[in-house]
Amino acid sequence: MADEKVASTTEGKKSFPLIPVIVGVLVVVVVAVGAVFATLMLTGAMNDQELEQALAEIETPPAAAEAAAPAEGDAAVPTEPQLLVTPNPERLGTLYYEMPRPLTANINGSRKVMQVTVAVMTHYDQMVIDSIVRHELAIRSAILADMSRTPEDNLLLPDFREQLGEQLRITINAVLEDFGEFAGVESVYFTEFLVQ
C-alpha cells in the first residue's frame, strides 16, 4: 500500500518543467532587446556621426564657423552682434594739414581778389594727409576754380566762410575720389582769409 500511496501522489501532482520556461523567457528578452536595438539603428538614433557633428558645431570657434557658413540660400541668424575691428587704433586721432602757399582767386563779376590759406582736418590716419600732399596740385586747381565762381554778393553773408569751407571740403574729397584715394577730409579751415 505504501507503494500505491507514492504512485498516487506522483500521479496527482504533475511537475512543471522549469528549464523550458527559463529558456522561453530568455528568448523573449533577447528578441525584445534585439528589436529595440534594430529600431534604434534603423531610425538613426544610434548614429555616432550625427552626435559628433553636433558636438563639433558647438565647439567650433566663431572664425571657423564663418568659414564653414552655409550657402546664401540658407538663412543663418547671427546669435551675437558682430563688432568691427579697427585696423588702426590711431584712426580717431585728429590730424591737420595746412597747404604751404596761399590761394588767390578773382571774385566772380568783381574787381576784388580773395586770398586764403587752407588747412584740412581728418580723423583718419596719415594716409589721407599723404593723399592730399600727393595730389596737391589738382586740389589747388579745383579750389581755385571754386573760389573764382564765388559771386561778390556771397561775401556779405554772415556764414560765408563756413559755406565756402564746406564747398571746398566736398571739392577736395571729390578730387581724392577721382584719383582713387580715400576721401577722408572732414573739415576745411582758413588760417588766413583776405578779400581786397
pLDDT tens for each residue of 142-181? 999 999 999 999 888 999 999 999 999 999 999 999 999 9
Q: Do residue 185 and residue 120 come from a single domain?
A: yes
Q: How confident is the model at residue 185 (pLDDT cuts 50, 70, 90)?
A: very high
Q: Do residue 133 and residue 178 come from a single domain?
A: yes
Whole-number pLDDT of residue 69: 53
Number of separate domains in the chain: 2
Q: Do residue 108 and residue 167 come from a single domain?
A: yes
Residues 6+ apart with CB under 8 A from 174: 142, 183
Q: Which of 35, 53, 80 is the last residue of a domain?
A: 80
Q: Do residue 76 and residue 153 come from a single domain?
A: no
Is 10 among the domain residues? no
Is 4 among the domain residues? no
Report residue 69 CA to chain centroid gap.
14
Q: Do residue 98 and residue 185 come from a single domain?
A: yes
d(CA 28, CA 16): 19
Residue 144, all three cell numbers: 581755385
Q: How confident is the model at residue 62 (pLDDT cuts 50, 70, 90)?
A: low
pLDDT tens for each residue of 100-110? 999 999 998 88
pLDDT tens for each residue of 107-142? 988 899 999 999 999 988 888 999 999 999 999 999
Q: Which of 58, 80, 102 is the last residue of a domain?
A: 80
Q: Do residue 188 and residue 116 come from a single domain?
A: yes
Q: Do residue 69 and residue 141 come from a single domain?
A: no
Q: What is the largest CA-CA distance in the chain?
A: 160
In this prediction, residues 71-86 reach a mean pLDDT of 54
In this prediction, residues 95-100 reach a mean pLDDT of 92
Residue 97 pLDDT > 80, yes or no?
A: yes
Is 6 among the domain residues? no
Q: Which domain holds residue 50?
A: 17-80
Q: Do residue 25 and residue 108 come from a single domain?
A: no
Is 5 among the domain residues? no
Q: Do residue 162 and residue 72 come from a single domain?
A: no
Choose between 28 and 54: higher pLDDT: 28
